[in-house]
Structure 1
């Protein structure tokens, strides 16, 4: 199952991707005649109120609807995509989680997973133009694989962590290198407005192969800058989830970005940073391509993909069981 969210006029519309067509989740769920009470008004709510068994029926329903009348559904390239989950409660990112990236930066590999947050105002979608704040003068790319939580997770073991993941998406951890002043400035350098492009879709695990060897690459203006796989991770996805959930409850829709590969602009000789008009493409095998264009600096408030709406609201009647 591939899930997206796009702007339909003035409101967000969660959809399922079928042959590059977008079928609204509410229509697919209604047609599926599920026996459970499913909330399909957002991708996050869908994850919170369904399990993997439901996903099969929802996908089949969407496929039948699109097959019956393809032109009734917009193409994925014809809409303004938001992040697949525009309203996560938490966005947590791993720093220095690549052996080769630690080597290029010249720091020792961390002994435990090291996380920092981004905010809903950092999020933007596929094909978005990011307008950095004027204070950001050395904007760098960091192509990353991100996992989206699909069930409430607390004190989860690494052995069972994959049961709590809904799927995988792509995140560009845009970083303001000129603002680095030490570890105390990590949130400022990483979590600026628009500095977390995410998308284009959330792809459920059943569509992907071995996550421990998932290949991905970053291109700037068509030139490959990063190329590697999750095999270079210091801490795997399962370890990351186990580490976070020891003390933090992860809920459906939460995003965990797994860290970048070597090849960032900061460590090139000479150093390279993004300029207005540059285009960054992050390609992940089996997931797709996330494209971001760098725009002119702006002082305008960035309200995030939810356009000023609360980043999340209370989710009721959510099972604490893992996804089966």
Structure 2
């Protein structure tokens, strides 16, 4: 693949197609072609500060989130560590991009932060053993699993609590594994208005990325562009004393070493339908999230 072929693949409507193309080639070839594309005519690409970034994958087929995957988070919630990975879904309409303003639904009165590391699938995976799971990963990004705590009524309400419109800000970029470093010791933190609320890393995971992919792929086919969010750290607002929740105007930053910083502003409650990040494609200032590495 040369950079002319690649240029036809990079646009907001075709990130999944790009990942599929990449899975059929070699990531070193893809990233080299991407660099050639930028060097060939850098004027084609605006500054990141001049555009609104969509999530790295604006329209994933699936978003699967691990619950209670941190030892210390289980302790603060007061529940035993799960014996097997368990997951809940979010929808494409749950996504929001880097520096997006999230407008919670009027029913959401206790919005909480949950900074997380997320994995983007790069090739079809079914019944994959853990030792081969990373072969199917395109890269790493960040997801903020915003949660409507006032809607919790037990496990049966998990989707209502977690999967509301724009309750999954994601970005700022997709970083390939060779750029991230040790996935078993990846540090990240969540800040609200500049104050650190969560600070830890993947060393606290109960189930690692490889185990999560192996567990899901036992029964679910993972395809390029699928997002797996790996669960949050201790320090959520629900478990603080007194409890803390997000308010209009708050700035939430999730910062991960080697990945970047995802910024989200909390806006006013809104009953206006939010159709997901792809709804903004017609705006020339909206671009797909970047791919690094």
TM-score, normalised to structure 2, is 0.90
Select the residue among 11, 15, 18 that pairs with 1:43.
Answer: 15
Partner of 2:204: 232
Partner of 2:229: 257
Pair 1:160-2:154 in alignment: no
After superposition, what is the alpha-carbon deviation per residue over 1:91-146, rounded to whole angstroms, capped at 9, x for unaligned? Answer: 00000000000000000001111100000110010000000000000000000000
- Unaligned runs of 5+ residues in structure 1 are 1-25, 310-324
Partner of 2:105: 133
Partner of 1:56: 28
Q: Which has the higher contact order (CA 8 A, sep 6+)?
A: 2
CA RMSD of aligned residues (A): 2.0
Select the residue among 170, 177, 181 that pairs with 1:209.
Answer: 181
CA distance in 2, matches of 1:50, 1:157: 21
Partner of 1:30: 4
| Equivalent runs, 1:145-184 vs 2, <5 Å | 145-184=117-156
CA distance in 1, matches of 2:40, 2:21: 27
| Equivalent runs, 1:1-324 vs 2, <5 Å | 29-30=3-4, 39-40=9-10, 42-51=14-23, 54-307=26-279
Q: 1:306 offset after TM fit, Å?
A: 1.5
CA distance in 2, matches of 1:79, 1:111: 44
Partner of 2:284: none
Moved more, 45-54 or 93-102: 45-54
After superposition, what is the alpha-carbon deviation per residue over 1:239-283, rounded to whole angstroms, capped at 9, x for unaligned? Answer: 101110000000000000000000000000110000000000000
Contact 2:117 2:142 in 1 (8 A): yes
Partner of 1:312: none
3-state DSSP of counterpart to 1:171: strand
Contact 1:29 1:40 in 2 (8 A): no
Contact 1:92 1:255 in 2 (8 A): yes
After superposition, what is the alpha-carbon deviation per residue over 1:129-186, rounded to whole angstroms, capped at 9, x for unaligned? Answer: 0000000000000000000001100000011111111100000000000000000000
CA distance in 2, matches of 1:64, 1:155: 36
3-state DSSP of counterpart to 2:238: helix
CA distance in 1, matches of 2:183, 2:262: 18
Q: 1:75 offset after TM fit, Å?
A: 1.3
3-state DSSP of counterpart to 2:277: coil
Q: 1:47 offset after TM fit, Å?
A: 1.0
3-state DSSP of counterpart to 1:148: strand
Contact 2:4 2:37 in 1 (8 A): no
